[in-house]
């Protein structure tokens, strides 16, 4: 299907540099897991790959089979085969779930062409069944009032319908109960056909118990600081990230360092919520 190549990618939002030299190549058929502590740039990377207008790419390249992705609109990127399952999917009251997906599918065809309604319904029903979704969800407004887990399943429903060449799944496991995690895992595994590629952002080994990943990368300070295989996840699960920080020689892993101002410390120190949490 396609190879995604990211080289020395720098990106900023509101003049704040978030990505600071990301290098990553995902070849056709490969599954890469991206891990890393909170606030290290993982979701930003996903947004920049899809062309979110809020982020400015200041340096570096992203190519899909050698074609410059940065020149494409988000719409063109989707048509080229890129797909993002968001960490926090948007609610869109007024647009039904099935209409949204049908529109997205039609947009990927040549002008004037439409998906056959019969084929669409058949494929849709099958996907709903495979994802063990409540039958009314497809006909409700997109994500409107969906539970956290239902939203996540719905992202995978969209992926099943759109059949992207490269799927980016941002914390698809967060908020899923154990049965739902299994179902989502089965659905993703079924789509790992040796041609489609995946970039899975996750915090936990348990997702990788259900979905096989070829490579694992750790992001800190807006770039990939360590890469390995699934053994790396086991070490992280057991020992956390401190050993990687030590190895890389950094103290604060986040993109935006914490403000260690003394006054702020005092405010935080006397914060009632914090006190309650520390009890």
Ligand X SMILES: Nc1ncnc2c1ncn2[C@@H]1O[C@H](COP(=O)(O)OP(=O)(O)OP(=O)(O)O)[C@@H](O)[C@H]1O
Q: Footprint of ligand X on this chain (CB under 6 A)?
A: 13-14, 18, 36, 38-44, 54, 87, 254-256
Q: What is the DSSP string of the chain?
A: ---EEEEEEEEEETTEEEEEEEEEEE-TT-EEEEE--TTSSHHHHHHHHHT-TT-EEEEEEEEETTEESTTS-HHHHHHTTEEEE-SSPPPEEEEEHHHHHHHHHHHTSPTT----HHHHHHHHHHHHHHTT--TTGGGSEETTT--HHHHHHHHHHHHHHH--SEEEEESTTTT--HHHHHHHHHHHHHH--SSSEEEEE-S-HHHHHHS--SEEEEEETTEEEEEE-HHHHHHHHHH-SHHHHHHHT-S--SSS-----HHHHHHHHT-HHHHHHH-
54 binds, among ligand X, Mg ion, none (CB under 5 to 8 A by kind): ligand X
44 binds, among Mg ion, ligand X, none (CB under 5 to 8 A by kind): ligand X
Contacts of 135 (CB under 8 A, 6+ apart): 128
CB of 72 to ligand X, least distance (A): 21
CB of 34 to ligand X, least distance (A): 9
258 binds, among Mg ion, ligand X, none (CB under 5 to 8 A by kind): none
- Between 45 and 137, CB nearer to Mg ion: 45
Piece of the chain touching Mg ion by CB under 5 A; list 8-16, 43-51, 155-163, 247-255: 43-51
Which residue's C-beta sits nearest to Mg ion? 43
- Between 36 and 185, CB nearer to Mg ion: 36
CB of 123 to Mg ion, least distance (A): 30
CB of 30 to ligand X, least distance (A): 21
x-marked contacts with Mg ion along 69-108 as a string, rule CB under 5 A: ------------------x---------------------
CA–CA distance, 158 with 167 (Å, rounded to integer): 11
- Between 1 and 57, CB nearer to ligand X: 57
- Between 87 and 106, CB nearer to ligand X: 87
Binding Mg ion (rule: CB under 5 A), the pick from 43, 154, 197, 221 is 43
Local structure of residue 11 (DSSP, 8 states): E
- Between 46 and 127, CB nearer to ligand X: 46
CB of 131 to ligand X, least distance (A): 23
- Between 96 and 174, CB nearer to ligand X: 174
Q: How many CB atoms lie within 10 A of CB 262?
A: 6
Question: Which residues are paired to 256 by β-bridges?
Answer: none
CB of 164 to ligand X, least distance (A): 20
- Between 87 and 186, CB nearer to Mg ion: 87
CA–CA distance, 186 with 181 (Å, rounded to integer): 9
CB of 44 to ligand X, least distance (A): 3
Tokens of 233: 């996840």
| Count of residues touching Mg ion (by CB under 5 A) | 3
In the complex, the residues that contact Mg ion under the rule CB under 5 A are 42-43, 87
């Amino acid at each position: 299907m396609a190879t995604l190549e990211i080289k020395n990618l720098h990106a900023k939002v509101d003049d704040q540099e978030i990505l600071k030299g990301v290098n990553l190549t995902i070849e056709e058929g490969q599954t890469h897991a991206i891990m890393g502590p909170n606030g290290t740039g993982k979701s930003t990377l996903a947004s920049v790959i899809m062309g979110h207008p809020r982020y400015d790419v200041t340096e570096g390249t992203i190519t899909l089979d050698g074609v410059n992705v940065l020149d494409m609109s988000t719409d063109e990127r989707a048509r080229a085969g890129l797909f993002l399952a968001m960490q926090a999917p948007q609610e869109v009251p007024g647009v039904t779930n099935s209409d949204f997906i049908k529109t997205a599918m039609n947009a990927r065809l040549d002008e004037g062409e439409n998906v056959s309604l019969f084929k669409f319904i058949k494929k849709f029903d099958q996907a709903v069944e495979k994802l063990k979704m409540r039958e009314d969800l497809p006909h409700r407004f997109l994500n409107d009032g969906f539970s956290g887990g239902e939203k996540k399943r719905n992202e995978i429903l969209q992926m099943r319908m759109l059949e992207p060449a490269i799927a980016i799944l941002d914390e698809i496991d967060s908020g899923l109960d154990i049965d739902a995690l299994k179902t989502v895992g089965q659905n993703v595994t079924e789509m790992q056909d040796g041609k489609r590629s995946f970039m899975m952002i996750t915090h936990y080994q348990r997702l990788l118990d259900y979905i096989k990943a070829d490579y694992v990368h750790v992001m800190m300070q807006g770039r990939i600081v360590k890469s390995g295989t699934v053994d790396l996840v086991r070490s992280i699960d057991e020992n956390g990230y401190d050993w990687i920080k030590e190895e890389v020689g950094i103290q604060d892993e986040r993109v935006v360092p914490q403000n260690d101002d003394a006054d702020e410390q005092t405010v935080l120190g006397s914060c009632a919520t914090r006190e309650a949490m520390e009890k």
